């Protein structure tokens, strides 16, 4: 097998459209752009495929909302160009066709809107069920196996569910909820079991779909992962025919584009409870209420983090803003003493930390584009090497890493963009801390020799 010609090259093994009667056809020659979307805050995996059609498939198939798209693609291994990476095998239901436009006589364009087979199966179901003394994680397994799993596939080829066990047992009864709505309701109430480095794992839980599986895991467990790859913001390598493969291996880890998606917004963060919160719980049985609060400077070290350093100073005037975000909720704490069959929802133990953790993940966010790599998944941690933006770089002052934004990031969403000739990935990454401690440096002193 020849070496990679370009870092964005890929291998399309199969792209077939399956009609309502099971007949399938290779449409790879008709394809335009294929987009595949994954998001840890949005469960279903979706996609779009643009098609240029001179055969009028719309009529000949015909398109009636029962079509399936099967795609298999991979890439040559950058480290071993004679080999291929494991193929990605995807099947989507075509749930909508839009943008149908006549280009010229006997030719037209349109876009398939795609939904994973499992997600389409979930949309066909509503859950009417109850559980008694069962962990939320076991309820999730039950719902997944009975209402989401694609039972039309052989057992070995179905998408698996990865579950992080929850603590506590609960009674739960529900009617007329979709499987995704119900699992996300469980996620809002779930508390992880276990601890790391003396810190208990905290909510929130997330339920999302990747190319290969479904995951019901805590945000903490994602943050505690080792990074899978390091990406560098730098100029592309100059091509040297004698060392071509090594240059491709480096360039697949190069950030082609990076932009700020989210930076600090103090007004928004006050509203989100980033700096402080107050929780008031009301017990209607005992006729009493309790107050709890969260303060970022006091409670910062109780969280597991991607990077450890605080993003606000010790003397911040925002750090005690507990009244900016206030909640009033009903509680059943201690209900077991009145009815042993009931279990407390234990809202007090996670309501504040759940809100705070989600808010912290929105502090630093980047959008970035990298060469396509089927090994990348939403929910994994990558390392980003960002140079500082200071302009005084010379032989006496070598370029340094950005002291705050260098380091580990969580992939919160990604878009695989597979055109006719190239494969790239657009990522959104986020994290909740700084790489180094906040330290003021006088810019005029630093640049005094350059002015």
pLDDT tens for 388-445 read: 887 666 666 777 889 999 999 999 999 999 999 999 999 999 999 999 999 998 888 8
Helical spans, DSSP H, in 144-227: 179-189, 219-223
Selected residue with higher pLDDT from 60 and 151: 60
Mean pLDDT of the chain: 88
The total of other beta-carbon atoms located within 10 Å of residue 231's CB is 24
Residue length, the chain?
Answer: 451
What pTM did the predictor assign? 0.91
Listed residues 191, 224, 257: the one ending a domain: 224
CATH number of 71's domain: 2.40.10.10
Whether residue 319 lies inside any domain: the answer is yes
Listed residues 324, 340, 356: the one ending a domain: 356
Q: Residues near 202 by Cβ (< 8 Å), separated by ≥ 6?
A: 191, 192, 218, 219, 220, 303, 304, 350, 353, 354, 357
Are 100 and 141 members of one domain?
no
- Residue-range definition of the domain harbouring residue 49: 11-118
Q: How many CA atoms lie within 13 A of 324 on its CB side?
A: 20
pLDDT in tens, 204-236: 999 999 999 999 999 999 999 999 999 998 766
Are 81 and 132 members of one domain?
no
Are 15 and 113 members of one domain?
yes
Q: Characterize the bridge pairing of strands 326-330 and 276-283.
A: parallel
pLDDT at residue number 450: 65
DSSP string, 19-81: -TTS-EEE-GGGEEEEEEEEETTEEEEEEEEEEEESS-HHHHTT-SS--EEEEEEE-B-SSST
pLDDT at residue number 117: 92
Listed residues 340, 356, 372: the one ending a domain: 356
Whether residue 441 lies inside any domain: the answer is no
Cα 32 from chain centroid (whole Å): 26
pLDDT in tens, 140-186: 999 999 999 987 777 877 899 999 999 888 889 998 999 999 999 99
Count of structural domains, the chain: 3
Are 217 and 306 members of one domain?
no
Q: How many CA atoms lie within 13 A of 450 on its CB side?
A: 12
Contact 364, 263 (CB under 8 A): yes
Cα 314 from chain centroid (whole Å): 32
Are 272 and 219 members of one domain?
no
Cα 35 from chain centroid (whole Å): 16
Whether residue 352 lies inside any domain: the answer is yes
Whether residue 152 lies inside any domain: the answer is yes
Whether residue 391 lies inside any domain: the answer is no
pLDDT in tens, 61-107: 999 999 999 999 999 988 888 899 999 999 999 999 999 999 877 89
Q: Residue 240 pLDDT > 60, yes or no?
A: no
Are 106 and 150 members of one domain?
no
The pair of three-digit structure tokens given for residue 109, joined into one six-digit string: 């364009």
Q: Residues near 101 by Cβ (< 8 Å), separated by ≥ 6?
A: 108, 109, 110
Whether residue 141 lies inside any domain: the answer is yes
Q: Single out the residue of 127, 100, 122 nearest to residue 111, CA to CA.
A: 100
- 16-30, 119-133, 233-247, 293-307: range with lowest mean pLDDT: 233-247
């Amino acid at each position: 097998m020849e070496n990679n010609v370009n870092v964005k090259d890929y291998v399309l093994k199969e792209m077939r459209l399956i009609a309502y009667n099971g007949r399938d056809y290779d449409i790879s020659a008709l394809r335009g752009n294929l987009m595949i979307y994954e998001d840890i805050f949005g469960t279903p995996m979706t996609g779009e495929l643009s098609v240029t059609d001179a055969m009028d498939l719309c009529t000949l198939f015909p398109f009636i909302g029962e079509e399936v798209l099967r795609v298999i693609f991979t890439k040559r291994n950058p480290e071993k160009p004679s080999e291929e990476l494991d193929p990605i095998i995807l099947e989507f239901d075509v749930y909508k066709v839009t943008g149908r436009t006549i280009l010229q006589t006997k030719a037209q364009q349109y876009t398939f809107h795609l939904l994973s087979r499992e997600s389409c199966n979930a949309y066909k179901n509503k859950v009417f069920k109850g559980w008694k003394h069962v962990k939320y994680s076991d309820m999730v397994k039950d719902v997944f196996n009975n209402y989401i799993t694609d039972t039309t596939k052989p057992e070995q080829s179905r998408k698996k569910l990865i579950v992080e066990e929850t603590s506590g047992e609960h009674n739960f009864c529900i009617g007329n909820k979709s499987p995704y709505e119900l699992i996300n309701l469980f996620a809002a109430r779930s508390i992880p079991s276990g601890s790391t480095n003396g810190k208990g794992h905290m909510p929130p839980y997330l339920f999302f779909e990747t190319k290969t599986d479904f995951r019901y895991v805590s945000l903490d467990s994602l943050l505690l992962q080792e990074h899978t790859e390091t990406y560098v913001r730098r100029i592309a390598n100059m091509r040297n025919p004698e060392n071509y493969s090594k240059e491709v291996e480096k360039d697949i880890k190069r950030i082609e584009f990076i932009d700020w998606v989210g930076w600090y917004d103090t007004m928004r963060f006050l509203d989100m409870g980033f700096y402080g919160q107050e929780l008031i719980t009301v017990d209607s049985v005992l006729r009493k209420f309790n107050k709890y609060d969260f303060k970022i400077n006091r409670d910062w070290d109780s969280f597991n983090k991607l990077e450890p350093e605080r993003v606000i100073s010790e003397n911040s005037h925002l750090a005690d803003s507990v009244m900016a975000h206030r909640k009033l909720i009903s509680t059943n704490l201690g209900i077991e003493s009145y009815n042993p069959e009931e279990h407390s929802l234990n809202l007090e133990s996670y309501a504040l930390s759940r809100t705070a953790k989600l808010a912290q993940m929105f502090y630093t966010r980047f959008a970035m584009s990298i060469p396509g790599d089927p090994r990348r998944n939403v929910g994994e941690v990558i390392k980003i090497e960002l140079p500082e933006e200071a302009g005084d770089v010379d032989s006496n002052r070598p370029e340094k890493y950005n002291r705050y934004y260098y380091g580990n990031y969580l992939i919160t969403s990604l878009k695989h963009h597979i055109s006719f000739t190239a494969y790239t990935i657009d990522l959104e990454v986020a994290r909740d801390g700084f790489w180094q401690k906040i330290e003021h440096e006088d810019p005029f002193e630093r640049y005094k020799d350059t002015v």
